[in-house]
Amino acid sequence: MNAPARFSDPALPRHDWTLQEVEALFELPFTELVFRAAEVHRRWFDPAEVQMSQLLSVKTGGCAEDCGYCSQSAHFDTGLKAGRLMEADLVVAEAARAKASGAQRFCMGAAWRELKDRDLPKLEAMISGVKALGLETCATLGMLTPPQARALKAAGLDYYNHNLDTGPEYYGTVVSTRTYDDRLKTLAAVRAEGISVCCGGIVGMGEGRADRAGLLHALATLPEHPDSLPVNALVPVEGTPLGDKVSAEGRIDGIEFVRTIAVARLVCPKAVVRLSAGRETMSRELQALCFLAGANSIFVGERLLTTPNPEMASDERLFADLGLRPMGSGAA
């Protein structure tokens, strides 16, 4: 099936994608889909460059949300103990180590439903301290109000991560304590303050291809495309509803995962598409296909919040073998 195109130049961003058009992209022959995505990627990015980000859990566990994939939810018994919000100086020290290891962006994540005003001063100190190191700053702190977004922007926040998780039709299977509209309102508050949006989702949660198309359609029809678009493969965590389900039924097929990366590149052509959670179980060959299909960012460091991540030495070997280099480092 051929995906219809309304514009002569498929690399130009558009916001009027129909769900049927996105579904048609998924149905393209695999090699044709990856070829198209690779062409679009080259229009906006150097295909040999990959952005390196590092993620730190600045407040772990005890979250009131019931996201069915999450080890940090207070609703599930995963053996994870809740902690307090870290002190700003400890976070800045972690960011300095991340920069020394090659990270270009430092992301701070807190496990709670929404940001409380009482925590703003400490978070502002974290953000300003990380920004002073010369790193891009990113935070994922749950739902925000417009004044809170304004305060984070003033502190030096470059990116705010708030994922849609999945398509709107499957969303109720994943979480019941926060609506799709709640998530969209937070994205609107962030955009209104001039903070760049980092927004994507998780695949391999038992959803179908139509749900993956629904997620990417929702992202492609936002008022502005996400500046950063993470595509996570579910890391099954024992004790979580979706983790137990996926462990029994099997993870998402690798070819289907690459299709999702490629469609993300096509419908949000200027976004930095991040190959996020799940890399530690992906083969080198699968990761290489993802980079070919348009992924151009990864998380580095040994952990992503509470789940494992490939070792830096492994990533360095992969980059060397593929001829890739950190974004902005210049030609080898």
Q: Where are the alpha helices (DSSP H) in the chain?
A: 19-27, 30-44, 88-100, 120-132, 146-155, 171-174, 180-192, 209-220, 241-249, 254-267, 284-292, 312-322
Q: What is the CA radius of gyration of the chain?
A: 19
Is 63 labeled as catalytic in the residue annotation? yes
pLDDT, average across residues 269-291 = 92
Among candidate residues 198, 199, 268, 290, the one labeled active-site is 198
The single residue of 138, 199, 268, 290 carrying the catalytic annotation is 138
Task: Please pick, among 36, 67, 178, 279, the residue that the annotation labels catalytic.
Answer: 67
Q: What's the burial of 233, exposed, middle or buried (CB within 10 Å: 0-12/13-18/19+)?
A: buried
**pLDDT value, residue 5:** 47
Length of the chain: 332
Residue 198 annotated as catalytic: yes
Structural domain including 130 reads 19-319
Q: Please indicate, yes or no, if residue 79 is contained in any of the structural domains.
A: yes
Q: What pLDDT is recorded for position 301?
A: 67
Q: Which residue has the tokens 């922007």?
A: 153
In the predicted structure, residue 186 carries a pLDDT above the cut 90 = yes
Q: 207: which 2 tokens?
A: 């959803």
pTM: 0.90
Judge whether residue 125 has pLDDT over 70. yes
User: Is 1 inside a domain boundary?
Assistant: no
**Cα distance between residue 39 and residue 44, in whole Å:** 9
pLDDT band at 55 (very low <50, low <70, confident <90, very high): confident
**Sign of dihedral through CA atoms 6, 10, 13, 18?**
positive
Q: Which of 70, 199, 268, 290 is labelled catalytic? A: 70
Is 253 a residue whose pLDDT tops 80?
Answer: yes
The one-letter code for the residue type at 6 is: R
Is 199 tagged catalytic? no
The single residue listed with the structure tokens 């991340």 is 98
Residue 256 inside a domain? The answer is yes
Write down the catalytic residue from 107, 199, 268, 290: 107
Please confirm, yes or no, whether 191 is among the known catalytic residues: no
Query: Highest mean pLDDT range out of 5-9, 22-26, 170-174, 186-190?
Result: 22-26
CATH of the domain at 237: 3.20.20.70
**Residue 70 designated active-site:** yes
Count: domains in the chain: 1
Q: State what percent of residues in the chain have pLDDT above 70.
A: 92
How sure is the predictor about 332, in pLDDT bands with cuts at 50, 70 and 90? very low
